[in-house]
Amino acid sequence: MKLWRSITAKGAAVVRALPLWLAAAWLMSLSTIGFVVVPLLFIYLPSPALAGGMAAHLFTAQTVLSAACGIGLLALVRLPRCEIAPHLAPPLTLWVLGGTLLALLVELGVAPHIVARENLALWHRLGTAMYIGQWICTMAVFVTVMRSEHRAELLQQPEPEAQV
């Protein structure tokens, strides 16, 4: 019985930490791919066409990761074990939905026009703006989850005893 309590306590700790890990993975992957890796492709690969093709594959992988993190966060927000503060759940849900929707819109609505090289400047600017919008939504998700985690930690700490 003692082993079972230990396992369930560890599992509960993992479930509590999962929203923060998902938000961090989503934010850091967006930051790394969009603001570091893809610009380096255009600097170091021999042609912009080659860099653009590779960037398209990376952004597709990023969309899959974004959708998985978004769906996971939406599912976890409703679990009482995650200890998301009730007053933070509605804005967190909106930020997650916004980021996930923007990721899907870029992949399914904008990327085909960029790959087809139709009015490239317009679609590239629109895709960049939507990617930055997704990054802002994801940053808001991360900050909101951090605030909720910090609040949960404060609630779990014993109050200091008053000295007389």
Residue 34 located in a structural domain? yes
Tokens 């990761």, located at residue: 65
Tokens 């093709």, located at residue: 53
Residue 56 located in a structural domain? yes
Q: In angstroms, rounded to a whole number, what is the distance separating the alpha carbons of residues 103 and 99?
A: 6
Q: Does residue 156 have a pLDDT over 80? A: no
CB 95 within 8 A of CB 137: yes
Tell me what pLDDT residue 98 has: 97
Residue 157 located in a structural domain? no
Tell me what pLDDT residue 3 has: 54
Q: In angstroms, rounded to a whole number, what is the distance separating the alpha carbons of residues 60 and 118?
A: 19
Q: Please tell me which residue, 133 or 160, carries the higher pLDDT value.
A: 133
Tell me what pLDDT residue 14 has: 78
The pLDDT of 11-19, averaged and rounded, is 81
Least confident interval from 8-22, 37-51, 87-101: 8-22
Tell me what pLDDT residue 23 has: 96
Beta-carbon contacts of 8 under 8 Å, excluding residues fewer than 6 positions away, are: none
Residue 57 located in a structural domain? yes
Share of the chain above pLDDT 90, in %: 68
Residue 164 located in a structural domain? no
pTM reported for the whole predicted model: 0.84
Residue 123 located in a structural domain? yes
pLDDT band of 6, cuts 50, 70, 90: low
The pLDDT of 24-46, averaged and rounded, is 97
* Sequence-ordered alpha helix ranges (H) in the chain: 2-32, 38-44, 48-77, 89-105, 111-115, 120-156
Q: In angstroms, rounded to a whole number, what is the distance separating the alpha carbons of residues 48 and 163?
A: 69
CB 130 within 8 A of CB 105: yes
Structural domains of the chain, count: 1
Q: In angstroms, rounded to a whole number, what is the distance separating the alpha carbons of residues 140 and 129?
A: 17
Tell me what pLDDT residue 2 has: 62
Residue 9 located in a structural domain? no
Domain span at residue 128?
19-152
CB 137 within 8 A of CB 102: yes
Query: Taking Cα atoms as reference points, which of 154, 142, 158 lies closest to residue 31?
Result: 142
Alpha-carbon torsion (109, 111, 112, 114), positive or negative: positive
Q: Please tell me which residue, 61 or 78, carries the higher pLDDT value.
A: 61
Tokens 């952004």, located at residue: 59
Q: In angstroms, rounded to a whole number, what is the distance separating the alpha carbons of residues 74 and 109?
A: 23
Residue 1 located in a structural domain? no
